[in-house]
Every structure is written in structure tokens, then in C-alpha cells.
Structure 1
Amino acid sequence: MTHIRQITLLQRKSGLSREEFQRYWLEVHAPLVRQLPHIISYTQHHVTDISGRQDYPRPDIEVDGIVEFVFAGPLEVSEAFSGPIGQKVLDDAKNFISAMVVLSVSSVPIVS
């Protein structure tokens, strides 16, 4: 079965430290997300350090967190975020997130 996997890059709101952002995300926002219907998996990846690598330029984006959602399919994604709990999750995101990029991905495990 193929699942819908979304990886989202998050940037914190101005005025929040990275620690405040992560604490709010974990303690306030995560309990709301747990209530979403149809969600198979939700993982928060808290950024602890940012650096460049060798001769590659750094993109002009600051990432404070990466979130991974997994749903059974596109209908389940739509239903999860269009209902009252989904609206609560989206509204709450405005309290600590200034920008985000949502990437729908297919995963190809190489080493597991």
C-alpha cells in the first residue's frame, strides 16, 4: 500500500527563539495534531544545528523544524485538514510558524 508522505520545512515566527518555537510545537501544537482523523504517523524533527557542506552553497532559507506526516491517501489528507480539528491545527500553526514549504515525497529506503 502506498501512503501519502509529506515533509514540511518550518520557519519560526519572528520574536520566538528556536527553543520557544520547539517547546510550543511539542507541548501545544502536537496534542492538537494527535487528534487529526486518518493520520498514520506524525514526526517532529527539531533542528539542533545548521551548517553548510563542502562546496555546496546554503539555500537562502532558515529551517527551525521539519515535520513528517503520513496518511493512507489524498482523500484522507483532505478530510484530516478540512474538518474542525484540522482547522484548529492550521489556525494554531499561525501562532508559531512564519513560513513553511510542504513537500509531498515518495520514499525509497536504501538502508534500514
Structure 2
Amino acid sequence: MSRCLKGNVLHLYGDSTIRQWCEYLTETSPGLKTFDLKSPKQNGPFLPLDYPNNILVSFRCHGPPICFSSVSANQLRYIANELDAPLGGTHTVVVIGIWTHFSTFPR
């Protein structure tokens, strides 16, 4: 997995499923270490980094609707607004997963 991710920046935006992807990557890639941002476990943001392999992973929870415990208003960001921030390029990957928190709303 480290060979595949080497030299890439992954931006993960979404709900708990995407957070679990971030946790899985961190647990299974020995070089990825999460930089402690003093973030709540449920909503992040998280910033795992593998410096020797030049891998950066960022996770940020989506904005409303939120279906879990209280979240500070200054931590809520709409993914559409966050997409303006990353610098793109051939080594940038953006993953968006927001399905589950919208399942309680009518189509």
C-alpha cells in the first residue's frame, strides 16, 4: 500500500465511513503517523503523514446534517467549500463519501 500511495496527497472528505478509511490507512501503513491536532475522535480533522514516503492524508468531516454527538460550529465545513483549498495535480487524490448521513432525509 505504501508503494501505491508514495508521493501522493489524499484528501478524504465525508462521514464516518471515510473516517474509517482514514483510520484503516493509518493502522495498516506502518509509516503513516497521525499528527495530533487535538481533534475530536469522531469528526477530526485528522492529518496522517508518512514523511519518508512523502504521503500525506487529510480527513475532514462534512458539514450539516450531522448525526452524531455535538460538534463545535467552527469545526463544521461544507465539502463544496473545502474543495477550493487543496492544490491539485497528478499526485493529488480527493475522496468524497457522504451517503450515510443523508439517508434519513427524503429524496
Relative contact order: is structure 1 or structure 2 higher (C-alpha 8 Å, sep ≥ 6)?
Answer: 1
Greater fraction helix: 1
TM-score (norm 2): 0.29
Greater fraction strand: 1
Decide which structure has the larger Cα Rg and report it.
Answer: 1
